[in-house]
Amino acid sequence: PFFPTTDEPIEKFFGQNNDWDKNVVETLYGGYPAKRRKDKLGGDILFGVPCLLYADAYSKNAPVWMYRFAYHP
């Protein structure tokens, strides 16, 4: 799915990305697996992961600075 906000695609994401510790994610997204937290996690996966991949690839050719913002209501 394009926007992983249900159990199956989120579990698939964790299965394919060993560098993401599910226990840490559950702590950072307090209340996970509540629906609203799944939406927030899905948004971070959808928008954040491609940025990290791009920055990692670009860093092999030039210095890269990346700002990561976190908002916790």
More confident of the two residues 20 and 54:
54
Please report the pLDDT score of residue 67 as a whole number.
Answer: 81
- Give 12-29 as a 3 state SS string: HHHHHCCCCCHHHHHHHC
In Å, how far are 12, 42, 58, 61 from 8, measured between CA atoms? 6, 12, 31, 36
What's the pLDDT at 70? Answer: 64
What does the mean pLDDT of the chain come to? Answer: 82
Q: Give pLDDT tens digits for 17-44.
A: 887 888 888 888 877 778 888 888 888 8
- Distance, in Å, from the CA atom of 1 to the CA atom of 14, rounded to the nearest integer, reads 14
Q: Which pLDDT band, with edges at 50, 70 and 90, does 58 fall under?
A: very high
State which H helix or E strand residue 49 sits in. helix 35-58
